[in-house]
């Protein structure tokens, strides 16, 4: 069935040309990993081609540990290279904070005892990832809501290396990725 | 490799009261992205519903900054998904919102929507929302205000390999 767009209340829908700030037609799927029933300690994307301008990683995560607390989704690059700096703005539903730390934090995964069927979401942008004249910068928007608890964070990470990024390795601060956790890597021309 | 960021539909407001609805959304993508450039006729909070669900099955965690202060808030057991706190009507300044509707067709999981919003003359804010339902999302409704003819909404699909 074709999608129908419209407006209730007697308004008529109008279709327009598909203009956007998003580079439609220049956004390509590179690889996807979805965790099976056994869980997984890491999710890795290797042999990333250097033919794109930027990368975007999108995914959902839940942990096999963490109890009733969410756990951190961490990302290293290449051969276990860690971030040199992480600046963030964070909200937990009652307070908001900002800070700087040395951590590979890109998002959150729900703990094993938190609301069932619920996953944290992460969208990570990696700019100019193959440029060997620049240090590497990440930006992520991530969060989870559990109907009564939640986290939301806006992150930047610095990897003080000019090496092209060819591998991304995701892990959790506690436990393994549980079943149905899934991350997809995209390239932007 | 396959190109995979595809426009599904675009619509605008009409200047008359009523909701914006995308329906019969195909389930063939991995994520949805909805880009909204919002102009309204009056100050209002903007909200979203999925699959027409009007029950108290939504919750949202947010943070917000207006240039003077920052705060974080939560709405639980709500009957809408909050995504924009009180759009101020102004003829020349819009509220921009980009929604990421993650794994929207996965019938095993509750659905999480994460969005960032800003009004250049007022504030920036970010929200993560949960819809406690495992159904595939086939319709999205945006309401809360009368949207002017300058308000524009475009829905995209992203398909993972």
Phi, psi (rounded to 5 degrees) for A24: -55, 135
Q: Compare CB distances from B154 to A18, A90, A92 and report the shortest one's residue.
A: A18
pLDDT level of residue A22 (50, 70, 90 thresholds):
low
Chain B residues with CB under 8 Å of A123 CB are 100, 114
Q: What ipTM describes this predicted complex?
A: 0.93
Q: What pLDDT is attached to residue B46?
A: 84
CATH code of the region B5-158: 2.60.120
User: Which domains are delineated in chain A?
Assistant: 28-188 (2.60.120)
pTM of this structure: 0.91
Q: Compare CB distances from B161 to A21, A29, A119 and report the shortest one's residue.
A: A29
Closest chain B residue to A151, measured at CA: B61
d(CA A18, CA B7): 6
Subunit contact B108:A180, Cβ cutoff 8 A: yes
Q: Compare CB distances from A18 to B10, B59, B61 and report the shortest one's residue.
A: B10
Tell me, yes or no, if B19 comes closer than 8 A to chain A by beta carbon: yes
Subunit contact A91:B134, Cβ cutoff 8 A: no
Chains A, B: CB pairs < 8 Å: 229
Q: Residues A93-126: pLDDT tens digits?
A: 999 999 999 999 999 999 999 999 999 999 999 9
| Section A10-26 average pLDDT | 42
Identify the burial level of A113 via C-beta atoms within 10 angstroms of its C-beta, where 0-12 means exposed, 13-18 middle and 19 or more buried: exposed
| Section B16-43 average pLDDT | 92
């Amino acid at each position: 069935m074709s999608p129908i767009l419209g407006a209730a209340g007697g308004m008529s829908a109008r279709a327009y040309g598909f203009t956007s700030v998003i580079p439609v037609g220049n956004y390509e799927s590179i690889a996807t990993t979805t965790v099976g029933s056994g869980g997984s300690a890491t999710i890795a994307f290797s042999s990333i081609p250097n033919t794109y301008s930027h990368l975007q990683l999108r995914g959902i995560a839940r942990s096999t540990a963490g109890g009733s607390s969410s756990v951190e989704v961490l990302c290293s690059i290449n051969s276990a290279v860690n971030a040199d700096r992480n600046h963030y703005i964070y909200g937990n539903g009652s307070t908001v904070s900002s800070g700087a730390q040395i951590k590979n934090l890109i998002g959150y995964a729900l703990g094993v005892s938190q609301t069932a069927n619920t996953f944290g979401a992460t969208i990570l942008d990696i700019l100019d990832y193959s440029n060997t004249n620049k240090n590497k910068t990440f930006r992520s928007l991530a969060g989870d809501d559990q109907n009564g608890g939640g986290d939301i964070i806006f992150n930047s990470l610095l990897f003080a290396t000019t090496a092209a990024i060819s591998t991304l390795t995701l892990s959790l601060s506690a436990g393994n990725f549980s079943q149905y956790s899934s991350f997809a890597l995209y390239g932007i021309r | 490799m396959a190109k995979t960021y595809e426009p599904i539909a675009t619509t605008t407001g009409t200047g008359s009261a009523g909701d914006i609805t995308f329906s019969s959304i195909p389930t063939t993508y991995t994520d949805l992205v909805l880009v909204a450039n919002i102009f309204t006729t009056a100050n209002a909070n903007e909200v979203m519903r999925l699959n027409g669900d009007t029950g108290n099955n939504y919750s949202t965690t947010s943070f917000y900054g207006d240039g003077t202060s920052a705060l974080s808030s939560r709405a639980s057991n709500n009957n809408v998904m909050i995504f924009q706190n009180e759009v101020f009507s102004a003829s020349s300044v819009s509220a921009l919102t980009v929604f990421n509707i993650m794994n929207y067709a996965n019938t095993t999981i509750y659905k999480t929507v994460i969005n960032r919003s800003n009004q250049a003359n007022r504030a920036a804010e970010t929200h993560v929302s949960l819809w406690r339902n495992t159904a595939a999302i086939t319709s999205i409704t945006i309401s809360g205000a009368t949207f002017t003819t300058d308000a524009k909404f475009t829905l995209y699909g992203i398909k993972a390999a």
